[in-house]
């Protein structure tokens, strides 16, 4: 078994997470680190790896097989291209670049230098997402026509580069990229329409909250919300199918599906009086006319960075195609561009993505 030596550029909090996780991956070993902040290089040396004095020093090290780019977002494109040109395989943190034009440059470089290039879209293996995806794909809800995906915090955005536009700040590039990627990974259709409203509640330069609606070719509507000012949260997932409804409350995967089992459920002859007055349509239904499937965490799913590295190594060794393809990231990037455009113009954008 070949062990691949990895160099990390940008040794901040996410790189620290990779560092820890790579300890579990037999085929990858961290050889060294470069960061523009010398204190972070020192921190890496204290962990027993090489502290490179420049990115060039790392790129010129013939022992380095793979470069992980985990800097702030504005630096991803140039660093990926330089690493590919130096003959390294590259894994880049998300959002892979600031826009689709930049990503096309990186894709071209990967082709030109014949190196493998992937992106850390690690949330494809989040258990809550896998549970929702499997439930829909198993047909438990019938044909699905609405998916609502939300992550909501109440503590505002972390200060620092995430609040600065030129460094790639804002929640669309931070969390939006994950939530859009999950949906586009799941739904094999084109996105035909994008409408988005972004808010800058605390940080005027960037979106610290957004509401995005994507429509797919079949008419499926996906609503994605990311908030940093919600003191009362919605469920993580809420899905409407023609035969049932799914809710998954949180990342712990607490959730259920409720389905109709009594198609003969008759309308009342008389109008029904509720606390809000008379209604037939919205009257509560007979509880015996539905069944509830209790959902729980899928035990078999490996929800960490390992699958991202496994698919990368398999592609480097020619055993399989990448499962996280740059072309997929390109589609996600184009949806995000549509979302920015929509929010700026206050209009829905027709797309063919
Ligand atoms: N996949 C995920 O779940 C996930 C989670 C968090 C962050 N991220 C991504 O990881 C990246 C880093 O985020 P973070 O939270 O670790 O930020 P961070 O601020 O903790 O770390 C960034 C590091 O990059 C260094 N840096 C900046 N520009 C550089 C350059 N040109 N050359 C070398 N070093 C440079 C900084 O000095 C800092 O040490 C971002 O792209 C972010 O979107 C991904």
Residue with the smallest CA separation from ligand 1 atom 18 is: 12
User: Domain 124-301+334-350, CATH 3.30.360.10 — does that match?
Assistant: yes
> Would the CB of 11 count as within 6 Å of ligand 1?
yes
Residue 265: per-residue pLDDT: 63
Residue 23: pLDDT band (50, 70, 90) is very high
CA atoms of 142 and 263, how far apart (whole Å): 14
How much distance in Å is there from the Cα of 136 to the middle of ligand 1?
34
The mean per-residue pLDDT over the stretch 246-272 comes to: 87
Residue 61: pLDDT band (50, 70, 90) is very high
CA atoms of 123 and 126, how far apart (whole Å): 5
Residue with the smallest CA separation from ligand 1 atom 39 is: 12
Residue boundaries of the structural domains of the chain:
4-119, 124-301+334-350
How much distance in Å is there from the Cα of 93 to the middle of ligand 1?
8
> Would the CB of 122 count as within 6 Å of ligand 1?
yes
CA atoms of 121 and 101, how far apart (whole Å): 19
Residue 115: pLDDT band (50, 70, 90) is very high
pTM: 0.97
Give 24-60 pLDDT, tens digit per residue: 999 999 999 999 999 999 999 999 999 999 999 999 9
> Would the CB of 18 count as within 6 Å of ligand 1?
no
More confident call, 86 vs 279: 86
Tell the CATH topology of 4-119: Rossmann fold (3.40.50)
> Would the CB of 71 count as within 6 Å of ligand 1?
yes
The residues, any chain, with a CB within 8 Å of residue 10's CB and separated by 6 or more, are: 35, 69, 70, 71, 72, 75, 93
Q: Could you tell which of 7, 14, 308 is best to mutate to test the pocket of ligand 1, judged by most ligand atoms within 8 Å of the CB?
A: 14
Note whether 191 and 351 are within 8 A (CB). Answer: yes
Q: Of 255, 258, 213, 219, nearest to 237 (Cα)?
A: 255
């Amino acid at each position: 078994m070949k062990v691949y030596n990895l160099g990390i550029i940008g040794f901040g909090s996410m790189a620290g997470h990779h560092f820890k996780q790579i300890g579990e991956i037999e085929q990858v070993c961290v050889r060294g680190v470069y960061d523009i902040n010398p204190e972070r290089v020192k921190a890496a040396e204290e962990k027993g790896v090489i502290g490179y004095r420049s990115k060039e020093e790392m790129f010129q090290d013939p022992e380095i097989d793979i470069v992980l780019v985990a800097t702030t977002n504005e630096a991803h494109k140039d660093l990926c291209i330089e690493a590919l040109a130096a003959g390294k395989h590259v894994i880049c943190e998300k959002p892979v670049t600031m826009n689709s034009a930049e990503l096309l440059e990186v894709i071209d470089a990967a082709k030109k230098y014949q190196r493998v290039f992937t992106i850390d879209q690690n949330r494809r293996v989040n258990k809550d997402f896998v549970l929702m995806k499997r439930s829909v794909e198993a047909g438990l809800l019938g044909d699905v026509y609405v998916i609502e995906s939300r992550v909501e915090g109440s503590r505002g955005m972390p200060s620092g580069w995430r609040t600065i536009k030129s460094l790639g700040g804002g929640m669309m590039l931070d969390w939006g990229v994950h939530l859009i990627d999950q949906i586009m990974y799941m739904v094999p259709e084109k996105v035909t329409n994008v409408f988005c409203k972004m808010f800058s509640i605390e940080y005027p330069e960037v979106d610290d909250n957004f509401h995005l609606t994507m429509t797919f070719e079949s008419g499926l509507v996906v609503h994605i919300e990311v908030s940093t000012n919600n003191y009362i949260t919605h469920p993580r997932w809420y899905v409407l199918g023609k035969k049932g409804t799914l809710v998954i409350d949180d990342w712990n995967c607490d959730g259920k599906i409720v389905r109709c089992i009594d198609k003969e459920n008759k309308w009342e002859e008389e109008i029904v009086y509720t606390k809000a007055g008379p209604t037939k349509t919205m009257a509560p239904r007979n509880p015996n006319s539905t069944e509830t499937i209790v959902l729980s965490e899928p035990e078999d799913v490996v929800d960490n960075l390992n699958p991202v590295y496994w698919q990368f190594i398999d592609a480097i060794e020619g055993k399989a195609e990448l499962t996280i393809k740059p072309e997929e990231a390109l589609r996600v990037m184009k949806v995000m561009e549509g979302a920015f455009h929509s929010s700026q113009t206050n209009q829905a954008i027709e797309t063919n993505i």
